[in-house]
Chain A
């Protein structure tokens, strides 16, 4: 059971956990080299080939990549390093996310044989998207670049004692700049999606300031009375 879904409180676009993901488009053809940063340390590499044969979009699980490669520092003997290789169509989107664990992740991209860093998920730009799900009910503040508090989020308590299953509403789109957020105060249900559209390079942090533990909303045990049943007469014959 993925307990980290319930233990990760708040989100940070520059330090991805299981509840957040970064979407980055790759427009130009070519070969790109990526690096996974796990808890602030470079751990493993991967390559993305952008060409006509690539997929329309690509999802890269940073948690999986970081464990599939052998860390040469841990080997007692020379080890093979196996870079994960991906491909995507030009103009396709790459989704960086972490499927498991309580570590934090980030990704960097540069073109092969080039030193210049083309993308760093720790600072997303206007072409990028930050998608998030918040499960923990409560009040959150949204800050940009760890400097400006641009808005607040209220995550409502899940409905209790209802007969119909709870289905989160459609994701909420939030336009966010270095100093503003629209809507400034958003109210969402638990597990409802959030899509942040940054207007400039930024790091978005969502932090819990006032938890909501339900109180009077807590569910009570249900008491359903059932009807008595009488099986119709059944005859089983002696086949001997």
Chain B
């Protein structure tokens, strides 16, 4: 039978959850070749806000957890296609062109345009998940064999009972960029093109732009941009570069494996060491947890 019962109110549970949330950090960088361009990102994101709801079906629902990027740098590298002149037909015939003028291309070195975008102020993303509670008995793998619990306490190798919030699945409810992010991309492109062509006289730049069409259309053609650049940014970073999966997997890992909601030592200390006397610790077993609408209840047995 259980000897100990500890109940944590929803209010207190929220404090414990907030503690994990505030200490959670996802840092990652990655890049990929997406065909006509390469894209990459560097992120350092935290979580904030979110509502916590304990439910009678023994689950906890966390809703509308905002993803708060401290750093979200996006990188896009574009190859400018060749711009060629000439190649027109010199000797046409009814059967086609017999002879063409030579074709000369301007961007024969395929220069790159690199766009460095600070997207942190513009990202809006929300995460929700439902999770159960899971108990784990932790033994430090570095603890030497045969070490007693008193020496283990002194050396920091105590065994622990841990309670994890275990997300069953993570919903990315929202992942978009504010309208202004599209302007950011456009301005970055303008600047990059101007830098590339900077040495050319104005008429030459206008000619290149005229041949390529409007600047944004040129990039759209390369990047396959839709009208809504925000959507495109979401697709590139969220889907193609797998950022959505990364965020979801990180949330799962942080909550389910890395950061316990609660933990206590086993054996559990009743009286501290004093004046050379060893601490009095009692072994705890059969820890179980369950959630109701109002509280989390943990039960355990004190071993003889």
On A, residues with C-beta under 8 Å from B are 1-3, 5-6, 18-19, 21, 23, 56-57, 59, 61, 93, 95, 97, 99, 129, 131, 133, 135-137, 157-168, 170-171, 190-191, 193, 195, 212-214, 217-219, 221-222, 224-231, 233-238, 240
Contacts and interface: CB of A to CB of B under 8 A. Distances in A.
Contact of B234 (A170, A221, A231): A231
Interface string B176-193: 111100110010001000
Main secondary structure of the interface of B (DSSP, over half): mixed
A165 B201 CA distance: 20
Given A236-B244, A238-B170, A165 B88 contact: no
Contact of B85 (A135, A158, A219): A135
Interface range on chain B (Cβ under 8 Å from partner): 35 or more
Interface string B67-103: 0000000000000000001101111000000110110
Contacts of B183: 226
B215 A222 contact: yes
B111 A1 contact: yes
A165 B210 contact: yes
Chain B CB within 10 A, most for which of A161, A213, A230: A230
A231 B176 contact: yes
B213 A219 contact: no
A162 B228 contact: no
Given A157-B203, A226-B182, A226-B183, A2 B105 contact: yes
Chain B CB within 10 A, most for which of A160, A190, A229: A229
Contacts, number: 184
Contacts of A224: 182, 186, 216
A58 B267 CA distance: 92
B118 to A, nearest CB: 18
A2 B245 CA distance: 44
Nearest to A190: B207
Nearest to B199: A3
B104 A236 contact: no
Interface stretch (B26-34, B41-49, B248-256, B292-300): B248-256
Nearest to B169: A237
B169 A158 contact: no
B203 A230 contact: no
Contacts of A191: 85, 207, 211
Contacts of B56: none
13 contacts: A1-B107, A2-B105, A21-B86, A21-B101, A97-B101, A158-B211, A160-B206, A164-B213, A165-B217, A168-B88, A170-B88, A171-B89, A227-B228
